[in-house]
């Protein structure tokens, strides 16, 4: 049993304390593995994903986070299988980490990614521009993407953007996790992503935007590709 201790302790506690509504969870099979693409609203998001996806699939859930969050939360990263994605601008470092994620997917593991790259746009009820890495991963691993429209987690836990108190929760507010139909990129499996040409960039951008539009429908949030998450969450933490 994966995460045996967690399944007996904090996972049922989270499900009891928080008002979490799930839609479409029955679409998941424990005989398959997936690349989950979830909207990002706050600091609770990866915990919510674990609490709902792991009991359903009985598989580990590897969550992709930027390297500075990985090191900042290293005790959690060890226990709950975070995968580091370097913010280093060198292509080699970035590609090395992508290969690690691809290997996990090919080995039959579930992986969670936040296409928006962060939640510094939390106060706006919109979806930020999606990064193309999620489509790269799906093509190279030849896996389906399961879009998850998450809403309400930022109303339950606002720190550090909407609140200065890291211990303040509003457990009465509803959180919704809406699991969409599998998003297939099978028609692009033969695309040579080692070529960084204009054609490939246009394809990746278009398919990423298509995925984000699916997430928009699942959340009823407008997709705003003009909003790009570039600031680190630590910029907000330093102001608290």
The pLDDT of residue 229:
87
The pLDDT of residue 63:
86
* Regions in the chain scoring below 70 on pLDDT: 1, 66-94, 231-240
The pLDDT of residue 234:
35
The pLDDT of residue 38:
97
The pLDDT of residue 239:
33
The pLDDT of residue 126:
95
- What are 84-96's pLDDT values in tens digits? 555 455 566 667 7
The pLDDT of residue 164:
86
The pLDDT of residue 83:
64
**Closest to 35 in 3D by CA, of 184, 140, 149, 143:** 143
The pLDDT of residue 92:
66
Domains of the chain: 19-237 (3.40.1130.10)
Burial bucket for residue 156 (CB in 10 Å: 0-12, 13-18, 19+): buried
Contacts of 123-128 spanning 24+ positions with Cβ under 8 A: 123/161, 123/162, 124/224, 124/227, 125/221, 126/221, 126/222, 126/223, 126/224, 126/227, 127/39, 127/212, 127/215, 127/216, 127/219, 127/221, 127/222, 127/223, 127/224, 128/224, 128/227, 128/228, 128/229
The pLDDT of residue 123:
78
The pLDDT of residue 185:
97
**Closest to 183 in 3D by CA, of 211, 204, 217, 223:** 211
């Amino acid at each position: 049993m994966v995460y045996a201790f967690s399944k007996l302790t904090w996972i049922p506690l989270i499900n009891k304390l928080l008002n979490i509504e799930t839609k479409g969870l029955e679409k998941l099979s424990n005989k398959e593995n997936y690349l989950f693409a979830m909207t990002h609203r706050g600091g609770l998001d990866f915990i919510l994903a674990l609490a709902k996806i792991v009991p359903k699939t009985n598989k580990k859930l590897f969550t992709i986070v930027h390297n500075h969050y990985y090191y900042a939360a290293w005790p959690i990263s060890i226990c709950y299988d975070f995968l580091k994605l370097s913010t280093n601008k060198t292509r080699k470092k970035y590609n090395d980490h992508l290969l690690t994620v691809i290997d996990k997917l090919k080995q039959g593991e579930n992986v969670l990614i936040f296409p928006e790259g962060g939640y510094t746009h939390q106060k706006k009820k919109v979806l930020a521009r999606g990064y193309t890495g999620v489509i790269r991963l799906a093509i190279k691993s030849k896996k389906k993407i399961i879009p998850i429209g998450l809403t309400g987690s930022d109303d339950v836990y606002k720190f550090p953007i909407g609140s200065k108190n890291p211990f303040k929760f509003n457990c009465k507010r509803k959180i919704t996790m809406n699991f969409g139909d599998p998003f297939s990129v099978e028609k692009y499996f033969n695309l040579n992503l080692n070529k960084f040409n204009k054609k490939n960039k246009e394809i990746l951008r278009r398919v990423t935007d298509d995925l984000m539009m699916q997430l928009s429908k699942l959340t009823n949030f407008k997709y705003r590709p003009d909003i790009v998450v570039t600031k680190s969450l630590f910029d907000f933490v330093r102001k608290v």
